[in-house]
Amino acid sequence: MTLHPRARAAVAGRQRTVLSDRTLARVRREVDEATATVPGPPLPVPVTEVDANGVPGRLYLPQPAGSAAVPVLLYLHGGGWTTGSAAGWDAPCRRIALVSGWAVLSLDYRLAPEHPYPAAVDDVDAALTWLRGPAARYGIDGGQVAVGGDSAGAYLATVAAGRARDRHEPLVCQILVYPALDPGMSSLSYTTMNGYMLDRTEMEYFWTSFLPGSVDRTDPAVTPLRADLTGLPPALVLTAEYDVLRDEGESYAALLAEAGVPVTATRYCGMVHGFFRRPALYDAATGAADQVGGFLRGRSTTPPQPVAGPLPSTVPALSARHGKGAP
């Protein structure tokens, strides 16, 4: 195992804040301020602020006006259910939209601890209902809807996929980027990978904020690793090698396969938690977004228009002035 030089620099330079309800407002500001921006102008995708049945979001529409209705990915940002926003995940959503030809709705679901479970889950359901109906005025094909997210957002995506199956409203596929799925934090990677941009103490705060004591964590509706996975949509599961969440994500991919669900699982070697939304720092973020886009393109029943020309890489070369491995 070899930690990527940029990841090594990020881990060494990280300043940790002890998470608590008292520090949360500051942490939320820091997460927004630390959003990795792509060098130069953002990728050219029209963006519209929308109200998805009372839940705000950003709708990325890569297809020109007047073209055929396009499939849509409902994307759910990470941040431990307590931090993060659609604005902070702008870069990967733009790239996914351009590579796939799909629209992407990035949702600002309600955050814990002010709004614990099931508030965010209910917001996702509301947005899915909106995408299947009223969103048609934006050129959305409500018959081709996928769901995805990273970390805490990937948890919401897995729950949404199960609930949609049970409502007989199947989704095209699910995209799970280093998903947080085990509130018991029982996997080996919590020991071997603790502290590489995410640690056990942080995850304890996230889970406790999202699933307070009144919630039964053994309920299969709450913990995806305990759920019935049969009949779920095809899945793409991406994990990071140096991540406490690595093992539970890969275990979930194996459980999906055992349940007969088509699944593609990829481990991004040398990467740490959070790499996916930072294309300005990690070249793997661009590759991962392109993998998501290609997976979506292959799942569309009406293939979207191709991407016009090659998309730029977003990672600058390592600076000799800063030394090898510096961000």
Confirm whether 166 is a catalytic residue.
no
Q: Which string of DSSP letters, residue by residue, matches 280-297? A: TT-HHHHHHHHHHHHHHH
Q: What are phi and psi of 177, to 5 degrees?
A: -105, 120
Catalytic residue among 85, 100, 151, 189: 151
Q: Which string of DSSP letters, residue by residue, matches 143-177? A: EEEEEEEETHHHHHHHHHHHHHHHTT---S-EEEE
CA distance 287 to 283: 7
CA distance 80 to 256: 23
- Mapped onto helix, strand or coil, the DSSP state of residue 238 is strand
Q: Are residues 284 and 268 in contact, defined by beta-carbon separation less than 8 angstroms? A: yes
Q: If phi over 0 gives left and psi between -120 and 50 gives alpha, with beta otherwise, what is residue 25?
A: alpha
Catalytic residue among 90, 108, 150, 243: 243
> Taking Cα atoms as reference points, which of 197, 185, 207 lies closest to residue 82?
207
CA distance 251 to 102: 29
CA distance 292 to 264: 11
CA distance 127 to 74: 8
Confirm whether 141 is a catalytic residue.
no
Q: If phi over 0 gives left and psi between -120 and 50 gives alpha, with beta otherwise, what is residue 283?
A: alpha
> Taking Cα atoms as reference points, which of 149, 173, 176 lies closest to residue 76?
149
Confirm whether 151 is a catalytic residue.
yes
Strand 140-150's sheet: what is its strand order? 47-52, 55-60, 103-107, 70-76, 140-150, 174-177, 235-242, 263-272
List, by residue number, the catalytic residues.
151, 243, 273
